Structure 1
Amino acid sequence: MSPSRFAVVGSGWRAEYFFRIAATRPDRFEIPAVAVRREEEIERLSIEHGLDALIDSRRLDELELDFVVVATAPETNADVCEELVERGYAVLLETPAGIDDEQLDRMAKLASAGARVQVAEQYRYQPLLAARLAVIESGRLGPITSAHMSVAHGYHGMALLRAALGVGIDEYEIHTQVHESTITRGPGRDGPPTANELDPSTRTVALISFGDQLGIYDWSDDQYFSWIRSLRFAARGERGELDGYTARYLLDSGEPVEQSLRRWDTGLEGNLETPGHRGYLLGDDWVYRNPFPNDRFSDDEIAVATVLNHMAEYVATGEQFYSLADSVHDTRLAHRIRDFRG
């Protein structure tokens, strides 16, 4: 099977994920070119990644591509996506789908017109979150009545909440509360903190009613990198609940069961296999298997690589995995909560 050929528009922090994944798995993914805006990026991408870069994105038309990844600045994602769709490309659009109502309206129009666009909403494919969603989808907990999500911000959090609840693009009602406090400075994208100082911390809690189902969004801006703020995930159903790593549910006989999700990694504690992540078990049931078990990917890289797999399948079959319409809906939900904060 030949690798999927895709170009990337953009060369920032998020685009680097696609570069690393393609370099690690050239049998699965190939990047013939990267479209950039600055001349200095051409040399950097050649030296650091061995990639050919173009200033004029129209030169992509000279290449044979399966799809194009749009990973530009948030404010330009929608514009670039529209242009590529007009030129006939299938597009994997990085989040967000739009930064305001005007852009989201345009993206909604594209979706209604049948544009071949999927969105790189990767969180549901991170191993632990994929395992948790698999437990929910297995039916062990029965119909899900509520979910509490404190694992990702904004539109990512909305996408996960809807996935856990199993709701579509439905009517909703939101009640939001914001709490301001302080927190000792933690690490960030640039590394560990250089000073032991206090920073402001904003916690946003939103109760979102989807008919008779309740979603609880709970997020602090510092959680992604914090050493002292944990990520939380819980879902309740008619026959059980999943709280963090622990599932409690009733068997058909009515007997209660308690099981824990257990991560299986290789290359640790004397194990001589290739370092990697195999998956998650619940009891003796593999609820999640990593499609890239022999690659030294971080969990987020596994998720992005999984998105690329799904995009290749979408191009071949038309099977959607996270549509532009879904992304627009989740972003609008997130903006409702953001605007309350503002």
Structure 2
Amino acid sequence: MRIILIGYGWRSLFFYRIIKALPHQFTLVTWVLRTQERAEEVQKLYGVQTCSNVHQALCVEHDLVILSVPSSSMKELLSVLINHDEKILCETGFTSLPLQTLNTLYAGYRASNSRIFIAEQYRRQPYYHTCHALSPLLGPLTEARCASLHDHHGISIIRYFLDEKGANCTITAVNRSSWVVKTGGRDSIDIEGVRVQSKRITAVLAFDDGKTGYFDFSDVQYHSSIRSSHFSLFGERGEISDYEVRYLNGDNEGVLQTIQRFEDGGLTNNPRSLRSLTFGDVCHFKNPYWPLGFNDDEIAIALCMEDACNGRGYGLHEALQDSYLAQCIHRSCSEGRPLETHTQIWADAFSSL
């Protein structure tokens, strides 16, 4: 699949690494940068075709445009691509855009022949994929607790497991600060023992059908060695808590089993690579890119790229719903009161699928 990549940064390099590692599946036909100087720099650094003009890039034969730019540039570039009726895999940064902008963006998309898919990779991660496959063991699902992902990412997982689609809910959220010792950042380890203020948002999403989502995230969580991440799913007949699964068998007797990760490498000379996730003697996720050394995020993003190339995946309406609910969480925090969500113009897209 011939790909145009727009944007340069930490996230866009995920796409580049995947394209380079899977040449039998993907070809980068051109990489669009913000300035000509940066385009020339990237061309020399990575040995790829680059340019600084989106319209020029779209003249090159291609199958998919990947848009990986900051939120401040997203609306303008996405509008250009929509007007060209492009098939697009777009990054997830809609939460920082005003709700009116989200509605305007969707209205333009709905009137076009464009196809937009969003690189919301967590549903495609091996762990969440396995949890979803095991969820029938729990009976009808009633609650999901996501204490592992921020903003729209966490909301996406809650909605996915509770099957809420575009449903409305009442959101009650608080934002509290506390001290914690800094242990690192995205690309660093910190052993200075410096105390920093950490903000934790907790929210209850009470959906109209009686199901409940619990959102819990600290702003140091992704890069801290002393703040862990957790996921729980609750049903009438059982629960998943991280890697433990408790459920009732056919005789209504309690059973406890664990999800197992099998990785090659690490303690051997083989490249480190996830092979599979199993439950009992059943494999629920087999890494299609094994034995490449992809981490779980890279596996999930590669799957999103494959999905988009094949005309399927997490749609724009889903991303906008997740971003809208995340905005409501922040509003509930700042206003100090519960908020009732309201149906948006993209809600019809859920019922049309």
TM-score normalised by L of structure 1? 0.92
Q: Distance in 1 between matches of 2:326 and 2:109?
A: 19
**How high is the sequence identity, in percent, across the aligned residues?**
28
Q: Distance in 2 between matches of 1:149 and 1:173?
A: 17
Give how far 1:133 is off: 2.3
Q: Distance in 2 between matches of 1:95 and 1:27?
A: 27
Q: 1:18 aligns with which of 15, 19, 39?
A: 15
Q: Which residue of 2 aligns with 1:240?
A: 238
Q: Which residue of 1 aligns with 2:174?
A: 177
Q: Distance in 2 between matches of 1:228 and 1:268?
A: 22
Q: 1:57 aligns with which of 54, 57, 72?
A: 54
Change (3 A) 1:246 1:186: same
Give how far 1:5 is off: 0.9
How big is each residue's C-alpha offset from its partner over 1:74-99, in whole Å with a ceiling of 9 and x where there is no partner? 12112211111101211111012352
Q: Which residue of 1 aligns with 2:35?
A: 38
Q: Distance in 1 between matches of 2:283 and 2:168?
A: 35
* Contact 1:107/1:324, CA 8 A, preserved across alignment: no
Q: Which residue of 2 aligns with 1:162?
A: 159
Q: Which residue of 2 aligns with 1:101?
A: 99
Structure 1 segment 178-257 matched on structure 2, within 5 A:
178-193=175-190, 195-211=192-208, 212-257=210-255
SS of 2:72 mapped into structure 1: coil
* Contact 1:107/1:328, CA 8 A, preserved across alignment: no
Match status 1:326 vs 2:323: no
Amino acid at match of 2:173: T
Structure 1 moving runs of 4+ over 4 Å: none
Q: Distance in 2 between matches of 1:190 and 1:273?
A: 24
Q: Which residue of 1 aligns with 2:338?
A: none
Which has the larger displacement, 183-192 or 106-115? 106-115
Q: Which residue of 2 aligns with 1:317?
A: none
* Contact 1:122/1:300, CA 8 A, preserved across alignment: yes
Q: Distance in 2 between matches of 1:71 and 1:305?
A: 14
Q: Which residue of 2 aligns with 1:83?
A: 80
Give how far 1:304 is off: 0.7
Amino acid at match of 1:322: Y
Structure 1 stretches lacking a partner, 5+ long: 315-319
Q: Which residue of 2 aligns with 1:153?
A: 150
How big is each residue's C-alpha offset from its partner over 1:150-179, in whole Å with a ceiling of 9 and x where there is no partner? 111000010011112122110111011221
Q: Which residue of 2 aligns with 1:117?
A: 116
Q: Which residue of 2 aligns with 1:341?
A: 333
Q: Distance in 2 between matches of 1:44 and 1:306?
A: 29
Q: Distance in 1 between matches of 2:255 and 2:17?
A: 42
SS of 2:185 mapped into structure 1: coil
* Contact 2:171/2:332, CA 8 A, preserved across alignment: no
Q: Distance in 2 between matches of 1:173 and 1:122?
A: 26
SS of 2:213 mapped into structure 1: strand
SS of 2:134 mapped into structure 1: helix
TM-score normalised by L of structure 2? 0.90
Give how far 1:118 is off: 0.8
Q: Distance in 2 between matches of 1:113 and 1:290?
A: 38
Q: Distance in 2 between matches of 1:188 and 1:275?
A: 23
Structure 1 segment 263-302 matched on structure 2, within 5 A:
263-270=261-268, 275-302=272-299
Structure 1 segment 133-152 matched on structure 2, within 5 A:
133-136=132-135, 139-152=136-149
Q: Distance in 2 between matches of 1:44 and 1:29?
A: 23
SS of 2:159 mapped into structure 1: helix
Which has the larger displacement, 100-109 or 19-28? 100-109
Give how far 1:18 is off: 0.6
SS of 1:297 mapped into structure 2: coil
Q: Alpha carbon RMSD of aligned pairs, Å?
A: 1.6
Give how far 1:130 is off: 2.0
How big is each residue's C-alpha offset from its partner over 1:17-36, in whole Å with a ceiling of 9 and x where there is no partner? 11111111111111110111
Number of paired residues? 331
How big is each residue's C-alpha offset from its partner over 1:296-324, in whole Å with a ceiling of 9 and x where there is no partner? 1111111111110111111xxxxx32110
Match status 1:307 vs 2:331: no
